[in-house]
Amino acid sequence: MNGTALIYHKDYLLHDIPFHPERKERLIATLNYFEKTGVLKRVDIITPNIAEEKDILRVHSKNLLEKIKEISLKGRGSIDVDTLLNSHTYKVALLAAGGVILAADLVLRGEYKNSFALIRPPGHHATIEHAMGFCYFNNVAIAVNYLREVCNIKRVCIMDWDAHAANGTMDIFYKTRDVFNISIHQDPSFFYPGTGFIEQSGEGEGKGYTINIPMEEGASNNDYYCLLKEFVIPKIKEFNPEFIIISSGCDSHKDDNISSLCLNEEGYAVMSNLFVTLSEELCQGRLVIALEGGYNLEALVHSNYEIVRSLLGESEYGNKTKGDILNSTYNTLKKLQNIF
């Protein structure tokens, strides 16, 4: 078995919307830093194919697929003020979904210990019927349903640490008990997408299998570590997944102005280390980390660097942090423990 696969395609750069925060430079800067620091010599870069329409339709409606295709084929257009398209967007969105499918497939087949999908556009806001929030197709959800329906994986855990609640992923798996979907994010009371509250915990047979963890502004490494260590990881152990996929948004970084959260690259390293250890304990190390948000280039590249070092087993940070914890974090922990 090889070490870590880095999933990337040069065509991810073709979805290029001028002056948009979700820009091609996010990947260019990351790759340049990986080359500068020698990471590219320690991973295998694997080029994905586009996802097939049947892969998309395991998650999304035919109407959504056709809408994105139609607007893109016109050469330009928009879903909303944040979610714009050019002539390449449809193909690149398929390629992003294909990237996470490949990342999962390589790990499942035992060709690689784990993988990092350096993809764009992101996906976790895309619901069954709607594209939104820079997202067209829900890349991680598409990979999860590929694992479930094609590869016969019965239990998958999704962990999303983007600054924004994973409303699309929640929509897709809200009534499902075979996918344990966890999102830790800035309190959505006054923050996009305006959903992702603790009380939103699944429906029907999926009740209790969606967990939303809203964080107060200013929450930092220690707050995230507390909630992961004291609540999230024990719950994942109870679920006992066969595969873990992380939606990794780096816009929770203190230098990313899109949010008011205060993680830094050490925080991303510690969280990644926790999940590397957890995946080795529960599911033969089957772990995929896929890029979502992150818009300050320097913060993004340093966070991605620490995440990949964790996957490679090279992280210097270990799996814990030190420091004060917000009172709101203790309150959130108590509330979570009472509800779940």
Which domains does the chain possess? 2-339 (3.40.800.20)
pLDDT at 2: 87
Question: Per DSSP, what are the bridge partners of residue 116?
Answer: 6, 289
Contacts of 331 (CB under 8 A, 6+ apart): none
Q: Which residue has the tokens 């998958």?
A: 156
Q: Is the CB of residue 311 less than 8 Å from the CB of residue 4?
A: yes
Q: What is the pTM of this model?
A: 0.98
Q: Is the CB of residue 116 less than 8 Å from the CB of residue 107?
A: no
- The question of whether 15 is a catalytic residue gets the answer no
Contacts of 233 (CB under 8 A, 6+ apart): 274, 278
- 120-129: burial string, b at 16+ Cβ within 10 Å, e else: bbbbbbbbee
Amino acid present at 77: G
The encoded tokens of residue 292 equal 């979502």
Decide the pairing of beta strands 179-186 and 210-215. Answer: parallel
Nearest to 325 by CA among 173, 180, 222, 204: 222
pLDDT tens per residue across all 340 residues of the chain: 789 999 999 999 999 999 999 999 999 999 999 999 999 999 999 999 999 999 999 999 999 999 999 999 999 999 999 999 999 999 999 999 999 999 999 999 999 999 999 999 999 999 999 999 999 999 999 999 999 999 999 999 999 999 999 999 999 999 999 999 999 999 999 999 999 999 999 999 999 999 999 999 999 999 999 999 999 999 999 999 999 999 999 999 999 999 999 999 999 999 999 999 999 999 999 999 999 999 999 999 999 999 999 999 999 998 888 889 999 999 999 999 999 9
Q: How far apart are CA 239 and CA 282, in angstroms?
A: 10
pLDDT at 37: 98
**Of 125, 185, 253, 302, which one is the catalytic site residue?**
125
